[in-house]
Amino acid sequence: MIRGMLIGALFALAACGADGPPIRPSVNTTVSVGSEGVRTSTGVSVRSGPVTVGGRF
């Protein structure tokens, strides 16, 4: 029980940015219509300080 509470407290500390810059998630969706029909594209990225990791689906 104590171990779970400790892990939860560490995650909360990391999420609020007290030990460094907070992690900033971002979602971007694009819908386009063309001769081939309707296309959708979704991009997800996570930014922490100068580092950004993302992908498109």
What's the full length of the chain, in residues?
57
Identify the pLDDT of residue 48: 74
What pLDDT was estimated at residue 33?
95
The predicted pLDDT at position 10 comes to 63
Q: What is the mean pLDDT of each run of 10 residues along the chain (57 residues)?
A: 66 61 81 92 83 78
Residue with tokens 């509470």: 5
For residue 32, the model assigns a pLDDT of 94
| Contact status, residue 22 vs residue 15, Cβ threshold 8 Å | yes
Predicted structure pTM score: 0.46
Residues 7 and 22: their CA atoms lie apart, in Å, by 18
